[in-house]
Every structure is written in structure tokens, then in C-alpha cells.
């Protein structure tokens, strides 16, 4: 293979280092207005009046917009259809959009928003998810404040625990985490003469924006066009949310007849956009004396916030993976997403799995200790292998690298020795060392719960000069989609990699290809591109063959590599062949399509094929803890990832390293402080992100258990790396200090207290 498996340079790198890449706030149009959002300050309030009379006095004010001005349906067509674009009678979280203003400048828009008077009546609210599930709780959603419930039931869990010789149980909780993409949300809407609108902006999922804008404006789909601009990070935070931001911009544009820019400042991004769900998990595992797991029982609750957004799907992913990547005969998992009067939680890299994995990987460690087994050996003994069944009863027929990943990290990290040596390690004073492991799997793409969306389109055009334009429906959000797609197209066509240009994603170019989420782009868009390339490849190869024949190279079979075709000494380049194809009037553009194979899943029992395939990761983390301050430094993370065929090793490493640092932020430093429904620290001054000095040393191992239905055997990668490092680090802390922290983020004070308490107990 020529381009596959090569660390070619990213196709967008040059423009990004030159400062030439343009993000949405870098664009402007003649006559463009700026919009700003008026938000409810209370967790729950009845809206009595919205008064723009003071706002109108702000020089440059153009108009105010409320729910009454929404020409179409004031309900976002997303999963549960419960979120109004602008709150109408009741606002359900502090920060919810109640009105918009459009003005001649950004400053005027912000001043006018501040001058807009809301007459609100504060109502009783509930901000704790366990309270929200009680009968007496104030209503957030439906009759019981539950957005979704799931069950995964395999075997007979009571019998499983009877068979167990050892049982471990515990309650684990996780806090919020912000996606904290460096570029805040932003959109520009441009009103079109046909009455429709074109949107440009920062986003992962243009088709979600398309759906929402058409619904809110009450216009046909063919009058909406959505174009993605360079996007400064997403991590799930730009999955559904840009549809809300885009709809607001579109409303303002259509109602004023002028282009409108709407860019969030960091504070409003913090208080109103989605974030990772806090979670509560009660978990029990049982195992035989020899270490074989017999049973797993879990109750898994997510704090979803005021509107459902993607919570049902996040919950589903967290639920089906909640037993961990192990062979367990008896499983019972029950889960629910509780509605509370807080900002809606939604998609964030890992999508419910970092929460459930924190619980299962912490408790697996405890059970290993109870059985007096090495935690890594214990995992190895139970790890899923080809032929095994997952918790949902899905039989793994192929491409399962869990054991491989665990063995690799064990050897590469020098696990046995460090596990034995670290407890005795002392360095002047109170510093201690520990090493811990975690294993996880990740269902690639949308799976049974999102199967209607699991399709992707592509368009490939070969130009007369031999360059190639590729359009896909998934987006480049920094993960390297355009680079990987270029490699796949180059490989298939035998075109030089540099000749491929993957265009900005535009809903008018290719049909709805579902979202850019769930580590699905390489698999889905990659396959769609291959499908489009297939007939083009045939034409290119046949033409090349005939050209070579004329050049006298007739006998031996043609070889094709590096953009060149040759027979014996005769050779033609891709560009020459492309030109010849045009002269022969061959069709040089094709559409491609790929849809995921059907899954069989029974939602009553939670049994069936949850996902088409899985990626597998193992992480070993090493920590140094200062017992006197609780300060914990993760010094090294050794990780191994089975992601199928690796298309671009350098880009894959980048995804892994970035995912690990995000995971360590989740484990130790990133904390949203929320009091009575208000975010107390909505800024980077008080919500701390890992900086370069916090990054550990990495040892990254890529494993390839090819997935036959993936492009060149690829599966998917982006999310698996964020799932395991947090529990691995907390397991290392357990090893270093002998204490189990059952909540993340584990802040220094909590660690210090736990260590002190643990030390006292020992004495």
C-alpha cells in the first residue's frame, strides 16, 4: 500500500501555521449585523415580559427577537424535540436563550442585550439528579424527570453472584467536563434572495444545523445551505450545539434581511453550551477464586440538565459498555438520564463511556486486590477475545485486540517490576509513586441506537490536470479527517496524495451523511469515498493500460504506485492519464455511498449487536503523589490501541496524546463549580485546562486488528483514548497511597484528605 499507513503531512497544516486558515470570526460581509443573546439568569423562571425599550436606545440597535418571531416551529428537531430555540413561557436553566438582539456592531449588540429587560418570576427548581428522580421534585421534563431509561440484561445476575467467591461493590461519581474547544461557538447567516439562508460556521455536523434551521424558519430544505468553516476544535461540543447557534443567526438574518454574525464569548459558551454529564454509578462485580468474572450489576445515572439534547444516546453508549471489555456470563445494567434545571449536557468525546468506565475500571481493580491478583493479569484473564460475547450478547467474530493491547502495555511499561518496586519507592519526604492500568473498548460509529443516521456520501471529481476534488459529508475538526480521506482517495485512484483536495463540507455538495461523531468518519466517509472512487479507478487504470500499450509496453502486467503507472520501461503519470480520460470524454466525477450494515438489537433486554465493530485500548498510568499536599503528577502514560488498519500513524498518535491529556484534565484538574444551578467559574481563569507542563511522557502503541468492512481495514480512533486514562491514573494513585478515590475530578484537597485518612487507619 502506497499512501495507507504513512505519516503524510496534514493537508491543512500549512495554512494553519501561516495563520492563513480562516475561522468563522475571521469572516465578514458587507452590511453584516452582529447578534447577541439575552439569557435567563435563573435556573427556572416564568417569562412574563421581554422589554426591548431600553435596548432600542442603544445606538446601532436594529431589532429584538423573541420566541414569537420564530416563523416555523420553535422546537429543535433533535432526538426528543423538547428544546425550544428561544424559551417561550418558561426558562429552564440559568443561561438559557430567551431573546436575541441584532445590531450594527458587536459592542452595540452586547450593550443592547444587556439593556433588554426580562420580567421573570423565579420558580422552584431541582438541580440534583437523585433529587430530581423523587416523586416530589419540581418538574423539569415529562412526569418523572427521566429522559431515557435502558436495561441490559444477560443471563441471571442473582445466579452469577451466587457463583462468585469474591464480590466488590462501590459507588462512583464523576463531575462535569467542558469540551473547552479553543474557538468558541460561532456562525454567520446570509439571507438569500429565494427566501432561504446560507450558514457558515464552526461545527461538526452541518446536517443537524440544516434540520434545525429549516424547522425554525419553516422553509424547505432546498433553501438552506450549511457550509463548515475551519473549526477550532469540537470534541462533541460542536455536534448538536451549532444547530442552536446557527438557528439564532438564521432567524436574525431572515428577520432583518441582512447577514448576521453570532459569536459567543467564553462565558456564555461556558454557561449555555453542552458539557460532559456528571454521573452516579452503583456497581457490583463477582468473580470466582481463579479470577473468572461471574456477574456484573450496575445502576448508572446521568445528570442530563434541562433538555434532552443527545442525552438518550449518550446514556445508551455509556450503558452498553458499562460492564467493561470483559467476558461476563451474567449482567444486569439499569440506567437513566435525569432532567435537572441546569445547562443541558450532551456530546463530549467518549459520549457516556468515560463515566461508566471510571466506575468499572476502578472496581475491577478493587476486585483484583480482593482476590490477591495482579490487576493487569486479572483483566487479561477476563478480557474479551474473538469468539466471546459482550454484555449485550454480541459475539465478537473478528478484529478484537483487547488481550493484545493489555499485553503490549504490560511489557512496554515494565509493569511487573514497577508494580513491585513502587510501593517501596521513597524520595525525600512525602512523595510516593504508583502504577495503574485500565482497559476499555469503544463501539465504532453510531450503533443500534443511531442506526438510521449511519450512512455517508461522497463525491469525487478528477480534474483535467490530474488534481482531485473530494467532497464528504463529515467535517474536519482538527482530527485529521481531510488528511485521512485524502490518503484513502489517493490510494484508491493511485493519485499523488498532494493532488487530492478535500473540500469544505457543504450540505449542498453531498446528501445528509449523518454527524461527525462516534469516531465514524474514517469508517463511514472513507468507505463512501472508496465507493465513489471505484468506477473512477477503473477508468483511470484502463486508460493508463491502453496508453502504455501504445507506448509499447504491452506484455507484462501494469504496476501502479506513487501516482505512476508503468509496464516495463514505459510509464505514464496520473495527470497524463487524467487528461487522456477527458479527451476520451469519460465521466470523471462520481458519487459514493456507504451505509452501515443492519444491527439487531432488542431494546427490551438490551441484547444484540450494539455496534458494527469495536476499538480497544489499554492504558498504564504512572503517578507521583505528594502526600503532604495531595498534588498528583501523572508522569507517564503507556497506551496501546487496536484501531484496525492505521491510515496515518502520526495523526493517530496525535489523537491519542490529545485524548490522554483531556482525560487527565478530567481526572485531576477540570472542575465546573456549580451552586444552585449557577456555574461559578465560567472562564479559563478558574476552570483550569492542562497546559504543556502538565502533559505526561507518552508511549503509544498502535495495534492493527483489521476490520474487513472498514476502508483498508480501518475502524475508528478519536474517542477510545479518552476513556481509560482517568481510571488508570486513579488506580495508580490507589497503588501509590493505598486509597481509593471514587470521585473525579480528584482535586488535591480530596487526595490529601484521603491519603491522610488512609495513613491514620494503617497506624
**Contact residues for another protein, defined by CB under 8 A:** 7, 9-10, 12-23, 25-26, 179-184, 230-235, 265-266, 477-480, 650-651, 653-654, 656-662, 683-685, 689, 691-693, 695, 698
Residue 230 near which of ligand FES, another protein, none (CB within 5-8 Å, type-dependent): another protein
Q: How far is the CB of 658 from another protein (least distance, A)?
A: 4
Q: How far is the CB of 649 from ligand FES (least distance, A)?
A: 18
Query: Closer CB to another protein, residue 180 or residue 302?
Result: 180
Q: How far is the CB of 478 from another protein (least distance, A)?
A: 3
Residue 662 near which of another protein, ligand FES, none (CB within 5-8 Å, type-dependent): another protein
Residue 17 near which of another protein, ligand FES, none (CB within 5-8 Å, type-dependent): another protein
Query: Closer CB to ligand FES, residue 344 or residue 478?
Result: 478
Query: Closer CB to ligand FES, residue 608 or residue 654?
Result: 654
162: cell is 451466587
Site for ligand FES in 127-186 (CB under 6 A): 182
Residue 683 near which of another protein, ligand FES, none (CB within 5-8 Å, type-dependent): another protein
For the chain, the distance separating the N- and C-terminal CA atoms, rounded to the nearest angstrom, is 62
Query: Closer CB to ligand FES, residue 182 or residue 420?
Result: 182
SS (HEC) of 544-575: HHHHHHHCCCCCCCCEEECCEEEECCEEEEHH
Q: Give me the residues paired with residue 200 across strands.
A: 188, 227
Q: How far is the CB of 479 from another protein (least distance, A)?
A: 7
Residue 10 near which of ligand FES, another protein, none (CB within 5-8 Å, type-dependent): another protein
Query: Closer CB to ligand FES, residue 568 or residue 688?
Result: 688
103: cell is 445590531
488: cell is 484513502
Does the bond joining 745 to the residue before it have cis omega, within 30 degrees of 0? yes
Query: Closer CB to another protein, residue 362 or residue 483?
Result: 483
Cβ–Cβ < 8 Å for 442, 614 = yes
* Residue 456 φ then ψ, to 5°: -155, 145
- The closest of 252, 273, 271, 270 to 262, measured between CA atoms, is 252
* Residue 611 φ then ψ, to 5°: -135, 160
497: cell is 496524495
Q: How far is the CB of 478 from ligand FES (least distance, A)?
A: 5
Cβ–Cβ < 8 Å for 378, 367 = yes
Query: Closer CB to another protein, residue 186 or residue 196?
Result: 186
Query: Closer CB to ligand FES, residue 231 or residue 519?
Result: 231
Query: Closer CB to ligand FES, residue 73 or residue 266?
Result: 266
Q: How far is the CB of 229 from another protein (least distance, A)?
A: 12
Residue 26 near which of ligand FES, another protein, none (CB within 5-8 Å, type-dependent): another protein
Q: How far is CA 224 from the centre of its chain?
A: 26
Q: How far is the CB of 182 from ligand FES (least distance, A)?
A: 4
Give the whole-angstrom CA distance, residue 234 versus residue 661.
15
Within 13 Å and on the Cβ side, how many CA atoms surround 394?
A: 28
Q: Which residue is nearest to ligand FES (CB)?
A: 182
Give the whole-angstrom CA distance, residue 590 versus residue 592.
6
Give the whole-angstrom CA distance, residue 581 versus residue 535.
13
Give the whole-angstrom CA distance, residue 472 versus residue 641.
26
Give the whole-angstrom CA distance, residue 49 versus residue 666.
40
- Report, in angstroms and rounded to the nearest whole number, the Rg of the chain calculated over CA atoms: 27
Query: Closer CB to another protein, residue 15 or residue 603?
Result: 15
- The closest of 201, 199, 195 to 183, measured between CA atoms, is 201
Q: How far is the CB of 179 from another protein (least distance, A)?
A: 8
Query: Closer CB to ligand FES, residue 361 or residue 476?
Result: 476
Site for ligand FES in 474-503 (CB under 6 A): 478
Cβ–Cβ < 8 Å for 351, 318 = yes
Query: Closer CB to ligand FES, residue 20 or residue 182?
Result: 182
Q: How far is the CB of 186 from ligand FES (least distance, A)?
A: 14
Give the whole-angstrom CA distance, residue 401 versus residue 412.
16
Q: How far is the CB of 301 from ligand FES (least distance, A)?
A: 32
Residue 1 near which of ligand FES, another protein, none (CB within 5-8 Å, type-dependent): none
Residue 18 near which of ligand FES, another protein, none (CB within 5-8 Å, type-dependent): another protein
721 lines the binding site for ligand FES (CB under 6 A): no
Q: How far is the CB of 520 from ligand FES (least distance, A)?
A: 20
Residue 503 near which of another protein, ligand FES, none (CB within 5-8 Å, type-dependent): none
177: cell is 467536563
Residue 667 near which of another protein, ligand FES, none (CB within 5-8 Å, type-dependent): none
Cβ neighbours around 504 below 10 Å, total: 15
CA angle, 79 as apex, 76 and 82 as ends, to 5°? Answer: 45
3-class state of residue 614 by DSSP: strand
Site string for ligand FES, 177-196 (x = CB under 6 A): -----x--------------
Q: What is the DSSP letter of 693?
A: G
Q: How far is the CB of 638 from another protein (least distance, A)?
A: 14
> Binding residue for ligand FES (CB under 6 A) from 84, 196, 206, 233?
233
Cβ-proximal residues to 422 (8 Å cutoff; 6+ apart), any chain:
432, 433, 434, 435, 735, 736
Query: Closer CB to another protein, residue 266 or residue 416?
Result: 266
Q: How far is the CB of 501 from another protein (least distance, A)?
A: 16
Give the whole-angstrom CA distance, residue 382 versus residue 395.
15
Residue 689 near which of another protein, ligand FES, none (CB within 5-8 Å, type-dependent): another protein
3-class state of residue 503 by DSSP: coil
Interface residues with ligand FES (CB under 6 A)?
A: 182, 233, 478
Amino acid at each position: 500500500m502506497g499512501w495507507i499507513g504513512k505519516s503524510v503531512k496534514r493537508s491543512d497544516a500549512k495554512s494553519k501555521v501561516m495563520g492563513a486558515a480562516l475561522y468563522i470570526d475571521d469572516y465578514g460581509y458587507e452590511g453584516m449585523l452582529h447578534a447577541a443573546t439575552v439569557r435567563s439568569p435563573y435556573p427556572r423562571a416564568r417569562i412574563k415580559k421581554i422589554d426591548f425599550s431600553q435596548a432600542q436606545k442603544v445606538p446601532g440597535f436594529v431589532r429584538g427577537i423573541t420566541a414569537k418571531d420564530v416563523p416555523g416551529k420553535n422546537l429543535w428537531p433533535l432526538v426528543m424535540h423538547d428544546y425550544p430555540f428561544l424559551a417561550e413561557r418558561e426558562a429552564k436553566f440559568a443561561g438559557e436563550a430567551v431573546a436575541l438582539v441584532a445590531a450594527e456592531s458587536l459592542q452595540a449588540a452586547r450593550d443592547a442585550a444587556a439593556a433588554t429587560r426580562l420580567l421573570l418570576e423565579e420558580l422552584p427548581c431541582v438541580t440534583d439528579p437523585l433529587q430530581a428522580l423523587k416523586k416530589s421534585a419540581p418538574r423539569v421534563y415529562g412526569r418523572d424527570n427521566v429522559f431515557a431509561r435502558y436495561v441490559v440484561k444477560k443471563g441471571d445476575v442473582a445466579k452469577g453472584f451466587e457463583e462468585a467467591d469474591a464480590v466488590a461493590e462501590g459507588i462512583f461519581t464523576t463531575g462535569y467536563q467542558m469540551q473547552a474547544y479553543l474557538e468558541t461557538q460561532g456562525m454567520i447567516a446570509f439571507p438569500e434572495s429565494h427566501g432561504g439562508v446560507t450558514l457558515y460556521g464552526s461545527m461538526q455536523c452541518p446536517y443537524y444545523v440544516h434540520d434545525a434551521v429549516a424547522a425554525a424558519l419553516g422553509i424547505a430544505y432546498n433553501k438552506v445551505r450549511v457550509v463548515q468553516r475551519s473549526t477550532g476544535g469540537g470534541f462533541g461540543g460542536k455536534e448538536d450545539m451549532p444547530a442552536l447557534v446557527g438557528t439564532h443567526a438564521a432567524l436574525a438574518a431572515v428577520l432583518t434581511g441582512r447577514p448576521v454574525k453570532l459569536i459567543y464569548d467564553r462565558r456564555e459558551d461556558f454557561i449555555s453550551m453542552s458539557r460532559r454529564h456528571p454521573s452516579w454509578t452503583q456497581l457490583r462485580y463477582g468473580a470466582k477464586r481463579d479470577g473468572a468474572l461471574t456477574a456484573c450489576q450496575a445502576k448508572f445515572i446521568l445528570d442530563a440538565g434541562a433538555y434532552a439534547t443527545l442525552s438518550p444516546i449518550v446514556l445508551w453508549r455509556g450503558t452498553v459498555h458499562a460492564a467493561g471489555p470483559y467476558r461476563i456470563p451474567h449482567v444486569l445494567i439499569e440506567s437513566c438520564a435525569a432532567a435537572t434545571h441546569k445547562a443541558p449536557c450532551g456530546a463530549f468525546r467518549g459520549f457516556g463511556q468515560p463515566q461508566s468506565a471510571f466506575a468499572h475500571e476502578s472496581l475491577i481493580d478493587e476486585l483484583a486486590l480482593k482476590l490477591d491478583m495482579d490487576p493487569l493479569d486479572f483483566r487479561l484473564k477476563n478480557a474479551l477475545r474473538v469468539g466471546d460475547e459482550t454484555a449485550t450478547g454480541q459475539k465478537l467474530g473478528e478484529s478484537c485486540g483487547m488481550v493484545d493491547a493489555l499485553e503490549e502495555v504490560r511489557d512496554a511499561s515494565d509493569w511487573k517490576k514497577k508494580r513491585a518496586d513502587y510501593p517501596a519507592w521513597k524520595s525525600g519526604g512525602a512523595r510516593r509513586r504508583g502504577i495503574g492500568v485500565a482497559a476499555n473498548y469503544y463501539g465504532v460509529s453510531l450503533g443500534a441506537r443511531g442506526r438510521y443516521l449511519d450512512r455517508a456520501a461522497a463525491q469525487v471529481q478528477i480534474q483535467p490536470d490530474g488534481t482531485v476534488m473530494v467532497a464528504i459529508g463529515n467535517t474536519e475538526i482538527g482530527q485529521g479527517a481531510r488528511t485521512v480521506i485524502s490518503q484513502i482517495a489517493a490510494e484508491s485512484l493511485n493519485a499523488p496524495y498532494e493532488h487530492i483536495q478535500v473540500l469544505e463540507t457543504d450540505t449542498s455538495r453531498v446528501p445528509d451523511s449523518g454527524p461527525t461523531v462516534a469516531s465514524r468518519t474514517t469508517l463511514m466517509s472513507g468507505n463512501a469515498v472508496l465507493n465513489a472512487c471505484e468506477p473512477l479507478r477503473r477508468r483511470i487504470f484502463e486508460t493508463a493500460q491502453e496508453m502504455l500499450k501504445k507506448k509499447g509496453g504491452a506484455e507484462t502486467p501494469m504496476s501502479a504506485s506513487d501516482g505512476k503507472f508503468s509496464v516495463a520501461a514505459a510509464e505514464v503519470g496520473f495527470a497524463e492519464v487524467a487528461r487522456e480520460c477527458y479527451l476520451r470524454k469519460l465521466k470523471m466525477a462520481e458519487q459514493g455511498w456507504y451505509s452501515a450494515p443492519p444491527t439487531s438489537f432488542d431494546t427490551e433486554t438490551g441484547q444484540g449487536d450494539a455496534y458494527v465493530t469495536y476499538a480497544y485500548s489499554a492504558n498504564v498510568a504512572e503517578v507521583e503523589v505528594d502526600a503532604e499536599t495531595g498534588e498528583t503528577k501523572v508522569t507517564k502514560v503507556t497506551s496501546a490501541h487496536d484501531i484496525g488498519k492505521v491510515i496515518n500513524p502520526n495523526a493517530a498518535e496525535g489523537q491519542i496524546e490529545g485524548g490522554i491529556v483531556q482525560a487527565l484534565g478530567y481526572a485531576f484538574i477540570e472542575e465546573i463549580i456549580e451552586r444552585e444551578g449557577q456555574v461559578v467559574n465560567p472562564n479559563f481563569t478558574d476552570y483550569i485546562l492542562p497546559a504543556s507542563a502538565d502533559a505526561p511522557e507518552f508511549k503509544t502503541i498502535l495495534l492493527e486488528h483489521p476490520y474487513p468492512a472498514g476502508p483498508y481495514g480501518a475502524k475508528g480512533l478519536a474517542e477510545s483514548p479518552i476513556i481509560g486514562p482517568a481510571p488508570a491514573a486513579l488506580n495508580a494513585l490507589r497503588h501509590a497511597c493505598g486509597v481509593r478515590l471514587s470521585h473525579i475530578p480528584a482535586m488535591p484537597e480530596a487526595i490529601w484528605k484521603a491519603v491522610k485518612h488512609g495513613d491514620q487507619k494503617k497506624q
